[in-house]
Homo-oligomer: A and B are copies of this chain.
Amino acid sequence: MEESFPMTGGDGPYSYAKNSNRQKEAAESAKAMLVAAITENLEINKHNICPISNSFRIADFGCSTGPNTFIAIDTIIEAVCKTYHESTFVHNPEFHVFFSDHVSNDFNFLFTNLPKDRSYFAAGVPGSFHNKLFPRASLNLAYSSHALQWLSKTPMEVTNPSSPAFNKGKIFYAKAVEQVCEAYKRQHEEDLASFFGARSEELAPGGLVAILMSGREDESSPSQVSLGPLFEPLESTLIEMANEGIISQEKLDSFNLPIFSPSPKEIKKIIQKNGCFEIVRLEVQPRTLHPMITLQQCRAGFENIITKHFDDNNNNNVIIDVTPVLL
């Protein structure tokens, strides 16, 4: 059963809209790469642009609530227009942009904040990107930024006390035993395969998928993932809370962040197995200089998942209790 972990909605101090600068900076540093990927590889011709409507369809999978998704869409449209100017097409197409995320994403907030002077028609598409969300061959460009490291669920084995992959007392696979890493890797393989399976049906011929995601730089063991230290303050806080009896040890043991950072080789293998896509560019970007995740960023990304897991007894203090340690 797939789970849903939306970012924190609205525009409060802990909202994703107010705390997604880290993702924005990473996307900005990848902007040149995105533009080059589009101008060099997007095939536009009568076989993929619907001749009736002459509309070009773009989807952002895992768009959250903005503003990063709006910035990315502007970059994409600019690059597509450049490609049109260099083609035999006389006119630019009309752009139809689909903002897609979990059903529980704050679409009301996203819609209220759509840029007033946008050069495209906008729609919101609720649902998991591990499933098909659009009719066959109806998209020209699929984009996803900082979303595909999220798994559809925590791998079952890591919360099963009788499994060798049981990740007792930890909330992530960093520095974990190999079996835990393997369980995470298998889940990620399955999820990324579902993503590409769905997109291979939705993309029109000549279409492009552009993905920016958190990954490992090389083929070292997943346990050496560089994201590890980011989650340590949250892990220590939860351990401390379990020690103080605020949350149960069982609750802690059954909580694992459903996030995985794959290596370039792992990604390549999954795409090649799908067989519908040719990899035209696969690059590793150096990590930006943010040593630690802030409390605000932590809440923007994890408030929903933590609340969902720990608050079955209406223990609404869990998030607040995390505050002092993270600050």
Interface set of A (CB-CB < 8 Å, partner B): 47-48, 50-55, 93-96, 98, 103-104, 106-108, 111-112, 114, 121-127, 132-138, 204-205
Contacts and interface: CB of A to CB of B under 8 A. Distances in A.
A53 B104 contact: no
A53 B137 contact: yes
28 contacts: A47-B52, A50-B50, A50-B52, A50-B138, A51-B51, A52-B137, A53-B135, A53-B138, A54-B135, A54-B137, A55-B138, A93-B135, A94-B135, A95-B135, A96-B138, A98-B123, A103-B112, A106-B108, A107-B107, A107-B111, A107-B124, A111-B126, A121-B133, A121-B135, A122-B125, A122-B126, A122-B127, A123-B125
Nearest to A123: B123
Contacts of A126: 111, 114, 122, 124
Query: SS class of chain A's interface: helix, strand, loop or mixed?
Result: loop
A53 B47 CA distance: 11
A113 B10 CA distance: 20
Nearest to A57: B135
Contacts of A93: 135
Copies of this protein chain in the complex: 2
A127 B115 CA distance: 12
A200 to B, nearest CB: 14
A103 to B, nearest CB: 5
Nearest to A109: B108
Contacts of A132: 121
A104 B204 CA distance: 33
A136 B50 CA distance: 11
B104 A112 contact: yes
A121 B135 CA distance: 7
Interface centre among A96, A108, A134, A137 (most CB of B within 10 A): A108
A96 B125 CA distance: 11
